[in-house]
Structure 1
């Protein structure tokens, strides 16, 4: 495929007033030969077909004007080369050039070329694929990142008409996208002025970026499977594997310290959040499942539910027996109309967990992996505790007693043989040390 800029008009030798429109031509195997006009114009006597821009030593035109003109020709040529894919026609070329000169002019949709945009295919994937709510949310977050990145290329880098397309996206594009995800809002305050700050203000961790790239790879593989493209940039790009530290969790003694603590000095709201946290520690579900539980989920002394995260892969029902502590918590909320526990916001819940643990004195030092630097750091437990700490408290304490991952998985909602359990093997080392100390 070859892209050429050209003009169709000539002028008398000394004529310096006439202007000729610059056209772009695309030729490819199979008889492809399409042309479209741009809004660029130049005096025919100043045009160099070889350079596809101004001739050298044109004295009557400012250096700035010549430089800007040549830059526009180069950027349009690069844009056409990047966005070209099979099946395009003259309307596509015309629209692409229009988009360069007037960003957003073709945002009406309905263009056949839209189907080859990554953003379009992410939407289609979400619409046509059965997904758990959490997974769907993550893919839509990814869609917003892709759209924001394209707008960044348009407005900040002045690459008008730039889009990530499934036929042309390369490993270098993936690297550039990942590099962009590192950027801080403060570097481009005008660009980010209308964005929700929590979506863009923090530097993303390697694990977070890897998760985004895994989802893009999933969509591209889906496109390949459907015959939309043969291009998979991830054949030449290796996504960094997520890294996790050893699991930390509350011991049974620490859990009971929280369970029985007098929180009257903190206010009534904290008593409710303590109950929610303790109940999660006792049944081990994910927070997304916890907030959905109703009285109908209690069957014969068990809590029964289908994990939302994995329900599309395997709709297995998880059954966890309720011990006395869990039953006592539920008794306190028996007057709720339908919900098992008071509803809560994820963000508010995390914040309350940290405050409660600090108040109670759960300040044991734990080693955690800094998600941004990937270095081990020592932190008091209350600072790093989250809703997932409850889940790990349930799993970790069970694992100390019965090291049968499949049995525990039947109550935690993990798949059998889950790699997540590999991290709990660190507990074996702690138990070995305790045994050896008995010989002292």
Structure 2
């Protein structure tokens, strides 16, 4: 006959543990079950491994004894059902049958759920709990739509989370890389999407890795919450998992100081003037495009002692984790551009797409003659290519240029206001005041120091 015992897998002497049980039936079966019972170790010591009260013990936790007895009885019943119905005597089947016996209503609901419904709930929960902000929420929603298209094409739109295996991960990776090949045959799946969201060429491996990392977070959460036994990503094997999830980037591309000054000093046509002003201002602020688009005159403050202007803002990407404002001094040229436009740049209404901000930055840099060759790895050919810098122009170039020019005068990212105090890489500069940053940033960009009155008029 089978033997059921309490399986203690802890070295702790006191405190609470969640009880596990073991069912053995000679060579026929050796099965484990993780219960929902939480027991104090000192109270548990009053019971035998079989869950019986030890001899001569008169004072014990009767509720705990009742719970253990009931759990063991259910395990015996489920094991008998497995034998009678010819089920495989494996741990996964054993655990599922016990779960169905203990939680029949919840099990029925779980049977109705699919991978797509679980993933949607996961995204909403991540956003609700502050794990991700609005920006990353939008990225997760895009991944959700891509995952939906993949499962429809594969005829698996009703697949359950527990049935999504390691081979489907690799199939999904291939789909993400080459989704553009499916557009013509599956036209209906792409109806209603903007042209920018319809894939027209192979995606980069970095983009695909980012999306797979999102899916891995989902499966890890489902595993942690014991909705599944094991994430399929952990079944991939180290080499395949690293190949699928690793992001590889070229050396950062940025404008050198002389190239930045070339943009400053080049007279551009009216069609590029607004782009030039926005590009120069964003480069001097070093902020992300999401923050740049939200800025207004309300973000400007004046240093009480030294009378220079600076911007202060709460970064959108990290505000769910930190409520500390970033403060970045405004150099004279930056202040001039702000007073000219009041942060109202029409070009920022459309960042991507044809004739959007990123496209216009490329045109601006080409007009200014910023054509230094930069090495770029071609994901398709697997060889390095050399492209003129203007072809790589985008709003991200502004932030990279800002950081590089700060480093040229020994100002790191903390001093520039882009990272918070405490980073090992920036401890040298944690005592710099806002005025110190202002002076050093002016040096980096070749700008003069200045003072303003309360109306931002330069004195």
TM-score between both structures, scaled by the size of structure 2? 0.61
Q: Which residue of 1 aligns with 2:162?
A: 167
Distance 1:30 1:122 in 2: 35
Query: Which residue number corresponds to residue 273 of structure 1?
Result: 275
1:262 corresponds to which of 253, 264, 267 = 267
Distance of 1:376 and 1:29 partners within structure 2: 60
Please name the residue that 2:111 is paired with: 113
SS of match in other structure, 1:167: helix
For 1:418 and 1:121, the matched residues in 2 are separated by 39
Q: 1:359 aligns with which of 353, 357, 367?
A: 367
Query: Using the alignment, how far apart are the partners of 1:30 and 1:286 within structure 2?
Result: 62
Residues 279 and 329 of structure 1 are in contact (CA less than 8 Å); yes or no, is this contact kept in structure 2?
Answer: yes
Distance 1:189 1:111 in 2: 37
Separation of aligned partners in 1, 2:337 and 2:421: 25
Match of 1:396 in 2: 404
Select 1:385's aligned residue among 380, 383, 393.
393
- Map 1:157-236 → 2, pairs under 5 A: 161-186=156-181, 189-195=184-190, 196=193, 197=195, 198-236=197-235
Which of the residues 373, 378, 392 maps onto 1:370?
378
Does the alignment pair 1:144 with 2:139? no
**Matches of 2:125 and 2:201 in 1, distance apart?**
32
Aligned residues: 312
CA distance in 2, matches of 1:375, 1:398: 32
CA contact 1:284–1:412 (8 Å) conserved in 2: no
**CA-to-partner distance for each residue in 1:314-354, whole Å, 9 max, x for gaps?**
333211000011001001113xxxx5544421110110000
In the alignment, which residue of structure 2 is the partner of 1:246?
251
CA distance in 1, matches of 2:80, 2:144: 34
Mapped contact 2:116–2:157 kept (Cα < 8 A): no
Q: Which residue of 2 aligns with 1:24?
A: none
Cross-structure match for 1:327? 335
Runs of 5+ unmatched residues, structure 1: 1-27, 36-80, 90-109, 155-160, 420-440
Alpha-carbon separation, structure 2, partners of 1:371 and 1:212: 17
> What is the aligned partner in structure 2 of residue 78 from structure 1?
none
CA distance in 2, matches of 1:153, 1:298: 53
CA distance in 2, matches of 1:376, 1:248: 15
Deviation at 1:355, TM superposition (A): 0.5
Moved more, 249-258 or 203-212: 249-258
CA distance 1:413–1:256, change in 2 (3 Å) = farther
1:397-436 alignment, distance < 5 Å: 397-402=405-410, 404-408=412-416, 410-411=417-418, 416=423
Q: Give structure 2 stretches of 5+ with no counterpart.
A: 1-77, 86-91, 102-107, 303-308, 427-459
Per-residue deviation, residues 338-395 of structure 1 (Å, max 9, x unmatched)? x554442111011000011111111111112334455322100001111100110000
Query: Distance between the aligned counterparts of 1:304 and 1:227, measured in 2?
Result: 43
User: Cα distance 1:188–1:388, how it changes in 2: closer, same or farther (>3 A)?
Assistant: closer
Match of 1:304 in 2: 312
User: Alpha carbons of 1:404 and 1:30: their partners in 2 closer, same or farther (altered >3 Å)?
Assistant: farther
2:160 corresponds to 1:153: no
* Coordinate RMSD, CA, aligned: 3.3
C-alpha change, 1:258 and 1:405, in structure 2 (3 Å) is closer
Q: How does 1:54-93 map to 2 (within 5 A)?
A: none
Partners of 1:143 and 1:411 lie apart in 2 by: 31
Aligned residues of 1:281 and 1:390 also touching (Cα < 8 A): yes
**By how many angstroms is 1:417 displaced?**
5.0
- Are the aligned partners of 1:365 and 1:381 in contact in 2 as well (CA < 8 Å)? yes
- Alpha-carbon deviations, 1:231-281, whole Å to 9, x = none? 2112123143101111111112211221232112xx34x211111111110
For 1:187 and 1:137, locate their aligned partners in 2 and report how far apart those are by CA, in whole Å.
23
For residues 251 and 188 of structure 1, do their structure 2 counterparts lie closer, same or farther at Cα, with a shift above 3 Å needed?
Answer: closer
Cα distance between partner residues in 1 of 2:380 and 2:96: 37
CA contact 1:85–1:168 (8 Å) conserved in 2: no
Change (3 A) 1:350 1:239: same
Q: Return the alpha-carbon distance in structure 2 between the equivalents of residues 327 and 139 of structure 1.
A: 37
**Structure 1 contact 283–322 (Cα < 8 Å) conserved:** yes
- SS of the residue corresponding to residue 376 of structure 2 reads strand
